[in-house]
Amino acid sequence: MVGRFRKITRLLGFDIAPFPGAAGHWSRIVELLDRHEVDCVFDVGANTGQYARALRANGYAGPIISFEPLSIAQAELDRHAAGDPDWTIAPRTAVGAESGDIAINVSAESDMSSILPLDAIAHERLASTRMTGSESVPVTTVSAAVGEHANDAARIFLKSDTQGYETQVLDGIGDAWERIAGLQLELSLQPVYEGQPDHLMLVQRLAARGFRPHLVVPGYWSRHYGRMLEYDAVFFPD
């Protein structure tokens, strides 16, 4: 959700659109990164690099590690990161609970692609997000990625925009939790993927680890559902 700036209009037949005014949160995110002394950002589900570019535009100058599973998006991501020595693009990979390989469902809108399939209602109502194919992709974990890309980082901020796969991303943190200073998750008010967790489940899971919401970013409104589908929450310890 965050970092995606599609122009979706009814005239084009699209269903979901960013909540008005939602772009004004970037400076607050960067302020939080500074306040909590974040020394590395993990950009999981980077798509073409919108999130990292927004952080840079709002003053974050520290290391960013981006992870993206789609081949088409990865090529664009590499292009955007060229010339930024502190922005590392990991080899094409998904991030999940354990290392291996998995198939990702490719959507006509690349930032709606997911390892999880659309549920029956979303398949009917969100025509523009329907899957057009699949790709096989390797899977890494946050724990493994820390060891490979950020061994010197002590205070990592983990952003996960993985279209319903946030539970698996958290499951893969393992022994790296002590190095996670904060998180940003896309949370679902109306699940659209099979097996996608409700937002309260993830909020409660992070609360059990001492993380509380410090910023909430409104997400996409669907005219077909007649409600907001998702939002982002930024978590830090109290």
pLDDT of residue 191: 78
Domain parsing of the chain, residue ranges: 10-237
Query: What pLDDT is stored for residue 136 in this prediction?
Result: 86
Name the pLDDT band for 167 (thresholds 50, 70, 90). very high
Going by pLDDT thresholds of 50, 70 and 90, the confidence category of residue 8 is very low
Average confidence (pLDDT) over 112-125: 58
Computed on alpha carbons and rounded to an integer, the radius of gyration of the chain in Å comes to 17
Mark residue 211 as left, alpha or beta (left: phi above 0; alpha: psi -120 to 50; beta: remaining): beta
Query: Would the pLDDT of 70 be above 80?
Result: yes
**What is the dihedral angle through the alpha carbons of 196, 211, 29, 70, rounded to the nearest 10 degrees?**
-30
- The pLDDT-based confidence of 7 (bands split at 50, 70, 90) is very low
Q: Residue 204, SS3?
A: helix
Structure tokens belonging to residue 141: 């974990």
pLDDT at 104: 82
Average pLDDT in the 4-12 region?
37
Query: What is the pLDDT averaged over residues 187-193?
Result: 84
Average pLDDT over residues 1-10: 38
Cα atoms in the Cβ-side hemisphere of radius 13 Å centred on 15: 19
What is the C-alpha to C-alpha distance for residues 217 and 54, in angstroms, rounded to an integer?
14
Q: What per-residue confidence (pLDDT) applies to 219?
A: 87
* Of residues 150 and 130, more confidently modeled: 150
41: left (phi over 0), alpha (psi -120 to 50) or beta: beta
**pLDDT of res. 119:** 54
* Average of per-residue pLDDT across 114-129: 56
Whether the predicted pLDDT of 138 surpasses 90: yes
Beta bridge mates, 186:
232
**What pLDDT, on a 0 to 100 scale, did the predictor assign at position 213?**
98
Spatial distance between the Cα atoms of 177 and 38, rounded to a whole number of angstroms = 14
Taking the whole predicted model, whether its pTM rises above 0.75 is answered as yes
Q: Mean of the pLDDT values across residues 207-214?
A: 98
Predicted local distance difference test score (pLDDT) of residue 9: 33
Q: What is the pLDDT of residue 112?
A: 58
How far apart (Å, rounded) are the C-alpha atoms in residues 82 and 96?
26
The average confidence (pLDDT) of the chain is 84
In this structure, what DSSP letter does residue 114 have? Answer: B
The reply to whether CATH 3.30.390.10 applies to domain 10-237 is no
Q: Is 12 exposed, middle or buried (0-12, 13-18, 19+ CB in 10 A)?
A: exposed
65 and 41 Cβ atoms separated by less than 8 Å: yes
